[in-house]
Amino acid sequence: METYEIINQYKSLPEYAQKRVRSLINDLCTANEESQNYCIHVCPKCGAVEPGFIKGGFSNSGKQMLRCPVCKKRFVIDRGQLTYYSHQSEAKWDQLIEDTFAQVSIEDTAEKLEISTYTVWRMRMKLLHAFEQLMMNTLLSDEIELDEKYFLNSHKGTQIDGVEGRKRGGSATKRSLSNEQICLPTAIQRGGNAVLMATNTATPSADDIMKIAPHISEHCMAWLDGKKAYNKLLETKHCGKMVLKDHTEYTAIDHINNVNSFHRTIEEWYTYYRGVASKYINRYAALFVLVREYAGCTLQETLINIKGRLRQFSDNFRVIDMKTNDLFHYCAF
């Protein structure tokens, strides 16, 4: 295809599609730049601040290791975002990213990378934590659709005294919304990105909905189903609104089809994972948002874009923090 033909096709696209093309091109350019140098100031093992690290040989993968003079433990130094404090090579992290978006199971990825399933699980949790950081910078504007998605709370993978396990795909014991269900308010910009996060159990309050306020620009036009909990958010952001009580009021412009379609896709992914432990639900919510964003890209294009975006962050997320930090605490059993 000639250059002028590509330019003409680009000009024929609507404005939101042109923005998407420019964003993808920018991400590709960023991904090809050299990664930033990350300076280590805190020991990932004991938390000592600037203790005066000394070189401590090399890891099995050939990475430089440093030794902390306080706890005497060694750790890997790395410039990459995900490979920071990791013994795994960048090639293995690349494969993990592709497998995560391709819905490859942890067991199959572990066999492919020749490492344990627990190591792959820890790598995935670190990856999803990084995805959460990406979503924190998302800002929606112009036309947005608002709705909520509910999932049964789950302590999958954890045994709790006095609490009976529930078969996957089970139902709540109460007919109406209760603290057995996790509420995930969802905001989608038409032709743009999305925000999805767990904020509470049962019916959300106005304060619960306000937790997504940092991701909403002022003076937007919002379409929603009329839940009053959104009023405080829309008034604070000086947004207009169109309330749609049921599908009979939908038109070509007035609808929430985008958010409903996203929720159906989430259900498919949720079923594939055979449920998600509620404490990790926001990590997977960030994954679902990115899957939607890169739905039209190949795995290689997705990998290049994700790595380019992750280079913007310097994340000292430690494996030791993985089971305690940034978790959604849904209820006390």
Residue 21 forms part of a structural domain: yes
Cα gap 226→170, rounded to integer Å: 29
Encoded tokens for 188: 């989608």
221 CA to centre of own chain:
25
Residue 20 forms part of a structural domain: yes
- Give me the chain's average pLDDT, please: 79
Q: Given the structure tokens 């109460």, which residue do they identify?
A: 174
The b/e string for 276-295 (b: 16+ C-beta within 10 A; e otherwise) is bbbbbbbbbbbbbbbbbbbe
Residue 192 forms part of a structural domain: no
Which pLDDT does position 238 carry in this prediction? Answer: 92
Range with the lowest mean pLDDT among 4-13, 215-224, 251-260, 280-289? 4-13
Asked if residues 307 and 294 have their Cβ atoms less than 8 Å apart, the reply is: no
| CA distances in angstroms from 158 to 161, 277, 323, listed in the order given | 10, 9, 12
For residues 130-137, average pLDDT: 84
For residues 110-136, average pLDDT: 88
Residue 126 has pLDDT above 90, yes or no: no
Angle at 322 between CA 321 and CA 325, to 5 degrees: 65
Residue 11 forms part of a structural domain: yes
* DSSP codes joined into one string, 186-215: EEEETTS-EEE---EESS--HHHHGGGGGG
Which pLDDT does position 187 carry in this prediction? Answer: 92
Which pLDDT does position 169 carry in this prediction? Answer: 56
Residue 250 forms part of a structural domain: no
Angle at 93 between CA 90 and CA 98, to 5 degrees: 130
Residue 186 forms part of a structural domain: no
Residue 232 forms part of a structural domain: no
At 331, the pLDDT band (50, 70, 90 cuts) reads: very low
For residues 211-217, average pLDDT: 91
pLDDT tens per residue, range 150-166: 887 766 666 555 556 55
Which pLDDT does position 95 carry in this prediction? Answer: 92
Cα gap 222→282, rounded to integer Å: 23
Nearest CA-CA partner of 195 in 231, 222, 225: 222
Half-sphere exposure of 229 (CA within 13 A, CB side): 20
Query: Which residues, 6 or more positions from 198, have their beta carbon under 8 angstroms from its beta carbon?
Result: 182, 183, 184, 278, 281, 282, 285, 328, 330
Domain count, the chain: 1
Which pLDDT does position 188 carry in this prediction? Answer: 94
Residue 27 forms part of a structural domain: yes
pLDDT tens per residue, range 25-83: 665 554 334 333 445 677 877 878 888 888 888 877 677 788 889 998 887 776 445 77
pLDDT tens per residue, range 258-275: 999 999 988 888 777 777
Domain that holds residue 22: 3-32
For residues 117-131, average pLDDT: 89
For residues 85-90, average pLDDT: 76
Best-predicted range by mean pLDDT among 16-20, 29-33, 120-124? 120-124
